[in-house]
């Protein structure tokens, strides 16, 4: 799997995790940004995968047939402020 637009050290890596061992940290008022961004990064596909999509005729009508395509390359969509992963496309 090839992943485009990877960064060695995005800005969000410098944000420390606020999930600690005190009661206040275990139940924070707001979400820990580091953990949120880390979960998004872990959601990137690591292996090739297949997608199945319908086949349409010249008039745009669904033919009822399906085609399968193997995806071996994705492109990361990043946020501006923290350079976090907000999505990916193929």
Mean pLDDT of 36-61: 93
> Does the pLDDT at position 61 exceed 60?
yes
43-73 CB burial, b ≥16 within 10 A, e <16: eeeeeeeeeeeeeeeeeeeeeeeeeeeeeee
pLDDT of residue 54: 94
Name the least confident of 16-25, 38-47, 72-81: 16-25
pLDDT of residue 18: 77
Q: CB–CB of 10/82 below 8 Å? A: yes
Residue 5 C-alpha from the chain's centroid: 12
pTM of the prediction?
A: 0.72
Q: pLDDT > 90: what percent of the chain?
A: 76
**How big is the CA angle at 35 (ends 27 and 11), to the nearest 5 degrees?**
130
Mean pLDDT of 46-69: 94
């Amino acid at each position: 799997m090839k992943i485009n637009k990877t960064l060695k050290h995005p800005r969000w890596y410098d944000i420390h995790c606020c999930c600690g061992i005190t009661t206040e940290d275990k139940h924070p008022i707001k979400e820990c940004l580091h953990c949120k961004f880390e979960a998004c990064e872990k959601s990137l596909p690591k292996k090739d995968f297949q997608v199945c999509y319908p086949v349409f005729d010249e008039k745009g009508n669904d033919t009822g047939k399906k085609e399968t395509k193997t995806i071996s390359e994705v492109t990361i969509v990043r946020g501006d402020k923290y350079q976090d992963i907000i999505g990916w496309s193929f």
